[in-house]
Amino acid sequence: MSFRLHVDGARWRAHLRQHAADHPGIVPVVKGNGYGFGRDVLAREAAALGVDMIAVGTYAEVPGALQDFAGDVLVLTPWRPFLDDVVLGPRVVHTVGRVEDVAALAATAPAGTRVVVEGETSMSRHGLDRHEIAAAVAALGDLQVEGFALHLPLGRGHLAEAESWVAALEASRLDTTTVLVSHLDPAEHAELASRRPHLTIRPRIGTSLWLGDPGALSVRAHVLDVHQVERGERIGYRQRPVPRGGYLLVVAGGTSHGIGLEAPKAVSGVVQRGKSVARGGLEAAGLSLSPFVVGGRQRWFAEPPHMHVSLVLLPESVTPPAVGDEVTASVRFTTASFDAVVID
């Protein structure tokens, strides 16, 4: 059984190099499932790009990053006093976003422990508000400040917010000229850097770096069985009747691979709302579109995916693949888990 990610290595790495060149000072983000590649693979690719720092999501991801990458490792999740897996060390850079945490870390960590101070942007997730920066500075003690961090919302149009935070940084007494920022595009990054030439603006980038050239990536799944079925025939765990005659494909890839799992969608506009309503109606009727592509189209699940395989319906008008053939799949890489990642 095999559910694999195939990567055109030359094309993918050319994209990585170009993206790094387009974003001076880039800090590659290597977190979670490693965007489908695995964090160890991405840490080594980041090293090949020649960067001096990568960012991970949590402290649990730090030991592996330190092993696979020789530079600094920034932890994006803010330090909290109740965390029991905190990793301290000269190459670990912590994020702090509450005044009380700055004081607590300064009181317990070795002198010279490295931190970035985060501002609470309109994301409203973590960070200090503008009025707390001075109090944080007063609580720093012997902590070494490596930068000021901003995590902006997705999409264009947040340059003004970034600039207002930079102005707040300059008005404070925080001893750093480095700003680490997420979700500015190259033009916005360049504009901010040109307006503040005395600052070093470092973009933290994950998705558009690792997944920015989808043509270099191909998800393939083996066909494990092919059964001809008649309309009304009952199949699967739930013994649902087949809605029409055709073929039942048993394809590698199930819930353990992230098949059928998805994050809630951000819906805006009449068209997107209409699609959501239509999709909800189909799912209420027991019909869900699978990610597996056969004959140029995504095909319907026969029932919810199993742990390691999926049952997929194919109309009788389409020539079925043979057992052992591969079909492609369109997946969400941040929730996908592959049996193998093959970089050609």
pLDDT digits (tens, 9 = 90+) for 101-114: 999 999 999 999 99
* CB atoms closer than 10 angstroms to residue 334: 17
Query: Average pLDDT of 280-308?
Result: 81
CA triple 238-243-246, angle to 5 deg: 105
For residue 282, is pLDDT > 80? no
Between CA 310 and CA 248 the distance in angstroms is: 10
**Confidence at residue 261, expressed as pLDDT on a 0 to 100 scale:** 79
**Confidence at residue 275, expressed as pLDDT on a 0 to 100 scale:** 37
**Per-residue confidence band for 220, with pLDDT thresholds at 50, 70 and 90:** very high
What is the residue-wise DSSP string for 46-85? HHHHT-SEEEESSGGGHHHHHHH-SSEEEE-SPP-TT-S-
**Confidence at residue 276, expressed as pLDDT on a 0 to 100 scale:** 41
User: Rounded to the nearest 5°, which phi and psi values hold at 79?
Assistant: -65, 140
In CATH terms, 214-343 corresponds, of 3.40.50.2000, 2.40.37.10, 3.60.15.30, 3.90.25.10, to 2.40.37.10
What dotted CATH number matches 8-210?
3.20.20.10
Between CA 162 and CA 178 the distance in angstroms is: 13
Task: State pLDDT tens for residues 242-265.
Answer: 999 999 999 999 999 999 976 555
Query: Average pLDDT of 264-281?
Result: 45
14 φψ region: left (φ > 0), alpha (ψ -120 to 50), beta (else): alpha
Between CA 196 and CA 173 the distance in angstroms is: 17
| High-pLDDT (> 90) share of the chain, % | 89
Contact indicator for 87, 64 with CB cutoff of 8 Å:
no
**Confidence at residue 150, expressed as pLDDT on a 0 to 100 scale:** 97
How far CA 183 is from CA of 129, 186, 203, 277, 326, in Å, comes to 19, 10, 8, 30, 36
3-state secondary structure of 121: coil
Mark 167-182 as b/e (b = at least 16 C-beta within 10 Å). Answer: ebbeebebebebbbbb
Contact indicator for 316, 247 with CB cutoff of 8 Å:
yes
Q: Domain residues of the chain, as ranges?
A: 8-210, 214-343
- Quickly list H helices, the chain: 9-22, 39-49, 62-68, 99-108, 133-139, 159-171, 186-195, 207-210, 270-284
Task: State pLDDT tens for residues 59-73.
Answer: 999 999 999 999 999
